C-alpha cells in the first residue's frame, strides 16, 4: 500500500516540495520556452485549440506536449505496476525518475546556451523533458502517496480547499468538520508551495535564464531524500491481518 501523507514528517513535507517544483518548472518553461506549460497541461490544450480554431501557426512544443504528457503518464503507471509485481515500493523509484528528467532538462538547456530560439529542435526536446518530469510527478502523487493533494493542479486544490473552509465555518456535524479540516491541512501546503515556486521561478528566470532550473532540480533531489525517510505501507493482506482479533492478543 502507498504510504499515507500523514505517516511521517517526510511524507507531510513532500507534497509541498513537489508543489514548489511544479510551480517553478511551469513558470520557467512559460517564460523561457515560448509559452509552454510543463505542469499545466490544460494551458497547452487551450493554446492548441485556440490556434487551430483561428488558423494561426502553432508552435511544435504545445502540440507535442499533450501526447508526451499522456504517454509519460501511461509509462509511469506501467513502471509502477512492474515495481509492485516484484514487491518493490514505487515512491523512491518514481522520485528518482523525476529527478533524472529534471537533471536532463537542465543539462540540455544549459548546453544549448542562452538566447535559444524556443522553436529550435533542441528547445522542443528540452521542453518535452520538462513535460515528462511533471507527468511523472502527477502520477506518483496518485500512485505512491495516500491522501496527498494534487501538486500541480491548483484549480482543483483551491476548489477543494474553499469547499472545506465553508464546511468548517458553517457545518454543525463535528465528524464532517473534522474531515474537512484534515483535507484542508493537506491541501493548503500544495497551494502555498506552487505559488512560491511560481514566484521564485519567475524571478530566477529573469535574472539567470535557464540556470533557474537548478531550483526545481535541487528540490527534486530534496524530494528524493524525503522519499527515503518515508516507510512503505503494509501490503493490504498483511494490514488486514493485523486487525484480526487473534493478532491483537498475540
Q: What pLDDT was estimated at residue 101?
A: 97
Phi, psi of 33 (to 5 degrees): -125, 40
Decide if 211 is inside a domain.
yes
**Domain assignment of residue 78, given as a range:** 10-231
Decide if 238 is inside a domain.
no
Any idea which residue has 518530469 for its cell? 133
Decide if 247 is inside a domain.
no
Provide the whole-model pTM. 0.87
Q: CB under 8 Å to 228, separation ≥6 — which residues?
A: 92
CATH code of the domain covering residue 216: 1.20.1250
Average pLDDT over residues 14-41: 92
Top pLDDT among 236 and 230 is at: 230
Decide if 97 is inside a domain.
yes
Decide if 19 is inside a domain.
yes
Lowest mean pLDDT of 27-31, 32-36, 70-74, 221-225, name the range. Answer: 32-36
Average pLDDT over residues 9-37: 93
Decide if 243 is inside a domain.
no
- Please, what sign has the CA dihedral across residues 238, 239, 241, 245? positive
Top pLDDT among 54 and 31 is at: 31
Decide if 136 is inside a domain.
yes
The number of distinct structural domains making up the chain is 1
Decide if 172 is inside a domain.
yes
CA distance 241 to 238: 5
Q: Smallest Cα–Cα separation from 29: which of 16, 44, 17?
A: 44
Amino acid at each position: 500500500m502507498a504510504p499515507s501523507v500523514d505517516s511521517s514528517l517526510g511524507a507531510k513535507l513532500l507534497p509541498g516540495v513537489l508543489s514548489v517544483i511544479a510551480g517553478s518548472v511551469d513558470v520557467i518553461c512559460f517564460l523561457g520556452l515560448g509559452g509552454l506549460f510543463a505542469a499545466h497541461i490544460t494551458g497547452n490544450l487551450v493554446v492548441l485549440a485556440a490556434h487551430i480554431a483561428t488558423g494561426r501557426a502553432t508552435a511544435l512544443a504545445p502540440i507535442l506536449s499533450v501526447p508526451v504528457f499522456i504517454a509519460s503518464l501511461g509509462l509511469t503507471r506501467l513502471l509502477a505496476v512492474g515495481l509492485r509485481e516484484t514487491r518493490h515500493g514505487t515512491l523512491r523509484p518514481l522520485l528518482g525518475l523525476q529527478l533524472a528528467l529534471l537533471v536532463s532538462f537542465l543539462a540540455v538547456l544549459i548546453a544549448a546556451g542562452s538566447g535559444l530560439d524556443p522553436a529550435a529542435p533542441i528547445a522542443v526536446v528540452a521542453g518535452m523533458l520538462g513535460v515528462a518530469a511533471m507527468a511523472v510527478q502527477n502520477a506518483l502523487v496518485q500512485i505512491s502517496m495516500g491522501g496527498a493533494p494534487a501538486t500541480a493542479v491548483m484549480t482543483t486544490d483551491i476548489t477543494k480547499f474553499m469547499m472545506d473552509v465553508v464546511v468548517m465555518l458553517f457545518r454543525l456535524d463535528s465528524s464532517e468538520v473534522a474531515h474537512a479540516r484534515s483535507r484542508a491541512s493537506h491541501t493548503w501546503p500544495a497551494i502555498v508551495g506552487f505559488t512560491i515556486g511560481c514566484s521564485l521561478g519567475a524571478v530566477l528566470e529573469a535574472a539567470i535564464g535557464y540556470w533557474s532550473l537548478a531550483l526545481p532540480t535541487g528540490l527534486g533531489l530534496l524530494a528524493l531524500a524525503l522519499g527515503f525517510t518515508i516507510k512503505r505501507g503494509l501490503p493490504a493482506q498483511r494490514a488486514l491481518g493485523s486487525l484480526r482479533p487473534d493478532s491483537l492478543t498475540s
